[in-house]
Chain A
């Protein structure tokens, strides 16, 4: 299928569907295979090259769009994992409402005792007939308060080394025993949550992948997460440098030589980072994915922090827009005031893999450097010190 064929399909689809009804339009778009064209037919795609998605986005730019701030975890992490490891039934059940945004997803991975060392996680799932009983505590769960489903990693075998005894589930966030408590952040608001799981019963058909294979399934999620954070296309002067440049242009009286030098350096760094992103996406489209993806989040975090910090300094504004403890509607890196952006950006080098862990990943998987000696590799999970 080529660009002309896709355009033909889009024309036919547009002729038959009214964009006035947002939800119906999105459902129809999914059913027409124009949601994510590289997904298989019947699952919102056409089984064609990912490159053609650009054509779809361009042609449908003036129609109802997804809310990526709220749907980010579903689209960026849950969907590719369900596609890779789900049964036909799971794919049919979950992908459509995930894509249309009728069902929001969150991620139950990190725990108080398992952050960078995710594989040491302790939330246990015990089999009981056709069901699993889940007990434990998860943390840093963005959007849990409006989620219908979650992707969940649990410990199902404590007697084997940590990487081997995990199992991956889809968790029903409406099930009895799921309790979501807001966790207030340094910004004042609560974007993420603690999630307590007490005797939560999940039927076995919510399991994703084999019993004991949870780590491999989770790797698929995590690789996609790193591309999702920091992998989005930006235009020149876009992203975090955008609001800084706006202030710079609107308030010449705030400019100093020192800020000017630093801003120019960051402008250059933003631009070469943007170009790397363009190159990375070209590689993906050409079917030659390079290791560059591992680096995008690292540069994204560093730039966001430096630019938002500079923004506060430039404005010389000692105020803050709003410290009210409230639930946020979605994840927003670029909104609100400079102070908010500065504080929110601090999370960019922690969420989705700390910058330190990313440097380990780059040095070991991309550069082929040896790992640090591992003391926990062959020890059963239950015998690990914690």
Chain B
């Protein structure tokens, strides 16, 4: 396993980055977040033409048969752009859950980008508490219940609902999806209510495993967010003059950015490790580190931009909101550190003697 990027991965990155620069720069994202956050035209191009929707789907189902490493590179770019497309929710989380069921027809539709799916699970759940925010029951072939803080449900054609150890499909039209005002403007969450909806059994679902897989790849999106914050701040402090000097020539600022760079360097290594190995330790390490680095990068970016960083017109707040929401998504850094106590054999005190 390598922690570097392959040539194929770099080509994929260039294709995605080029398209995003052309179609959906941060200013364009900002313009649409209050009315219609998701850019589904862009998603169609990304999914269909560049083929990102089928990256994780084997060729036998019409996908690209790529690995998590390629999906991770796409996530880095989408994080860099806070791009409002349902790649993570449909092509990563829902697709990974679906793969375990071997539902060929649905996988085929997802691979083509014709259908978008969402896994009906709270974004605040974690591999350690997968059912947080979910209460759905099966009753005679229909599903009923509520799941809070679901990401990507409002743009999904089909909802994949885990119940017990099984995964069910519910048509979006048969559920009530209510988007709530969300901290993350570019990936809002919704309350999903299902009342006696007809459900199709797809197969087995190990929800904790699905969430762990997602958490590992989310680290790459967090890396992208942090990279944009660092790069944008570097450009700004070279440009912005006070006291007749670029503010980036003051050591007080240079040293903060050197430290931030070092955090990002380590986030890149952690993200690459988790993209190549979704074992519990590697994922927990990547989440425990990268979630915090993304938030810290956005916070540093805001402070070092001064007043302009506090305004709605500058896109920086989109990154801060994404980073802060992602800190909670699929387990907080604290949840992942706590998990490492047993995963890495660093057990806590018994009874807490002093």
Interface residues of chain A, those whose CB is within 8 Å of chain B, are: 237, 245, 248-249, 252-253, 255-257, 260-261, 263-265, 267-269, 271-273, 275-276, 278-279, 282-283, 286, 288, 292, 295, 298-299, 356, 358-360, 362-364, 366-373
A370 close to B246 (CB less than 8 A)? yes
- Contact pick for A268, options B4, B340, B345, B348, CB 8 Å: B340
Contact in complex: A279, B258 (CB < 8 Å) = no
Tally of chain B residues near chain A (CB < 8 A): 45
B288 contacts which of A245, A268, A279 (Cβ < 8 Å)? A268
Decide if A369 touches B238 in the complex (CB within 8 Å). yes
A261: which B residues are within 8 A, CB to CB? 337
**Complex Cα spacing A73 to B338, Å:** 41
Instruction: Given the known inter-chain contacts A256-B352, A264-B340, A279-B272, please indicate yes or no for A359 contacting B4, CB distance below 8 A.
Output: no
Q: Which label, helix, strand, loop or mixed, suits the secondary structure of the A interface?
A: helix
- What would be 24 A-B contacts, judged by CB atoms less than 8 Å apart? A252-B349, A252-B350, A255-B347, A255-B350, A265-B288, A269-B289, A272-B270, A275-B273, A279-B3, A282-B3, A295-B262, A359-B255, A359-B258, A360-B255, A362-B261, A363-B257, A367-B234, A369-B234, A369-B237, A370-B246, A370-B249, A372-B249, A372-B251, A373-B245
Chain A positions within 8 Å of B337 at CB level: 261, 264-265, 268
Beyond A265-B337, A272-B285, A275-B273, 11 additional pairs, beta carbon < 8 A: A257-B348, A261-B337, A267-B346, A275-B3, A276-B265, A282-B2, A295-B261, A360-B255, A367-B234, A369-B237, A369-B238
Interface of B is mostly: helix
Cβ of A62 to closest chain B Cβ, rounded Å: 27
Residue pair A363, B258 in contact (C-beta under 8 Å): yes
Given contacts A255-B349, A283-B4, A368-B234, contact A276 B269 (CB under 8 A): yes
Contact code string B281-310 (vs A, CB < 8 Å = 1, else 0): 000010011000000000000000000000
Is the Cβ of B258 less than 8 Å from the Cβ of A260? no
Residues of B with C-beta under 8 A to A265: 288, 337
Assess whether B248 is interfacial by the CB under 8 Å rule: yes
Q: Is B46 an interface residue (CB 8 A)?
A: no
- Asked if B344 CB lies within 8 Å of chain A CBs, one says yes
Q: Assuming the A-B contacts A248-B346, A295-B261, A363-B258, are A368 and B238 also in contact, with contact meaning beta carbons closer than 8 angstroms in the complex?
A: yes
Of B246, B254, B340, chain A has the most CB atoms within 10 Å of the CB of: B254
CA distance A64 to B8 in the complex (A): 43
Name B244's closest neighbour in chain A (CB-CB).
Answer: A373
Docked CA distance A366–B259 (Å): 12
Measured CB to CB, the closest approach of chain B to A208, in angstroms, equals 31
A298-B346 contact in complex given A369-B234, A373-B245, A373-B249, C-beta closer than 8 Å: no
Query: B residues 305-329 with Cβ under 8 Å of A?
Result: none
User: Is residue B242 contacting chain A, with contact meaning CB distance below 8 A?
Assistant: no
Across the interface, which residues of A come within 8 angstroms of B259, CB to CB? 359
Chain A min CB distance to B14 (Å): 17
Flag if A275 contacts B266 (CB, 8 Å). yes
Tell me the complex Cα distance, A282–B272, Å: 13
Complex Cα–Cα for A268 and B347 (A): 14
User: Is B344 touching A267 in the complex (CB atoms < 8 A)?
Assistant: yes
CB–CB A359/B273 < 8 A: no
B268 touches A359 (CB 8 A): no
- With A264-B346, A373-B245 known to touch, is A275 a contact of B270 (CB < 8 Å)? yes
Question: In this assembly, does B104 line the interface, its C-beta being within 8 Å of a C-beta of chain A?
Answer: no
A272 B266 Cβ-Cβ under 8 A: yes
Q: Determine the residue in chain A with the shortest Cβ distance to B246.
A: A370
A369 vs B254: C-alpha distance in the bound complex, in angstroms?
7
